[in-house]
Chain A
Amino acid sequence: MPTRIITITIDDATAESTVDLTGYHGKGCAAVMEAFNGLGKVTKEDHKPEFKQETINLVRK
C-alpha cells in the first residue's frame, strides 16, 4: 500500500493554502479532500492520474 501523505502549504503573507494528497486513489482521495472543505473559496483543483486509476480498475472488473 503506497504511503499516503497530506501536504499543506500556507502562504504566510496571504494565508492562501494548497492541499496536496499523494498516495491516494479514487473515492479515498475524494473523501479526504472533502474533509478540507469549508475553509474558504477554492481557487484551483486538480486530480492526477492515480486518482482515476481506481475508477479504471472498477470499470475493467
Chain B
Amino acid sequence: MSAYRQQTTVFKDAALLAECLRQTFKRVDVHAKAIHLEGYHGDKRTETAEIVIPREFVGGSSNDIGFKRQDDGSFAAIISEYDSRHYGAEFMQKLRLSYTESFYRKQAAKVGARLVSKKNADGKTVLQFLHQ
C-alpha cells in the first residue's frame, strides 16, 4: 500500500449529481441561478433550488424536488413531506452511493486508470482500477 485515505461524501458537483438523479428521474434541470420550486397545484413555493426535478417527473400529485447549493458549496435536498414517503432516507442513501461510485469512476478515468473489477460483499462495494 502506497497511500490510504478515508473520506465522506458530500454532493458538490452539480453535473455529477444531476447525472445520478437521471438514473431515477426522466428529467432533471440544472439552473445557474436558483428558481422557485412548484407545488402539485402549480403554485410557486418559497423554497428555491438550482437542481430541480419537475413535479410531473416525480409522480402523480407530487411537488418539485430540488437540490439547493449551500454556503459551503454543497447541495442539500428539498423534498416535501408527501414525496419523502417515496423519496426518503433510502432514496438519499442510494443517491449518495451512486454519486460516490460515479465520482471515483470519473476521476479514475481522468488519471488513465481502468476499472478491472467491482464486487459487493459484507455491506461494501469494492472497485479496483488498474493504472498502467
Contacts from A to B (Cβ < 8 Å)? 3-25, 29-33, 35-36, 38-48, 50-51
Interface hub of A30, A31, A35, A48 (most chain B Cβ within 10 A): A35
The answer to whether A9 and B7 touch (CB under 8 A), given A29-B2, A32-B111, A36-B107, is no
Residues of B with C-beta under 8 A to A14: 8
CB distance from B34 to the nearest CB of A (A): 22
B-side interface mostly: mixed
| Inter-chain contact total with CB atoms closer than 8 Å | 145
Cα of A40 to Cα of B124 in the assembled complex, Å: 18
Cα of A52 to Cα of B55 in the assembled complex, Å: 54
Nearest B residue to A11, CB-CB? B124
The answer to whether A12 and B7 touch (CB under 8 A), given A7-B128, A23-B2, A38-B13, is no
Q: Is the CB of A12 within 8 A of B123?
A: yes
The answer to whether A15 and B97 touch (CB under 8 A), given A22-B2, A40-B9, A45-B5, is yes
B126 in contact (CB, < 8 A): yes
Contact of A50 among B2, B4, B132 (CB under 8 A): B2
Q: Is the CB of A32 within 8 A of B104?
A: no
Residues of A with C-beta under 8 A to B128: 5-8
Residues of B with C-beta under 8 A to A11: 123-124
Nearest A residue to B113, CB-CB? A6
Nearest B residue to A49, CB-CB? B2
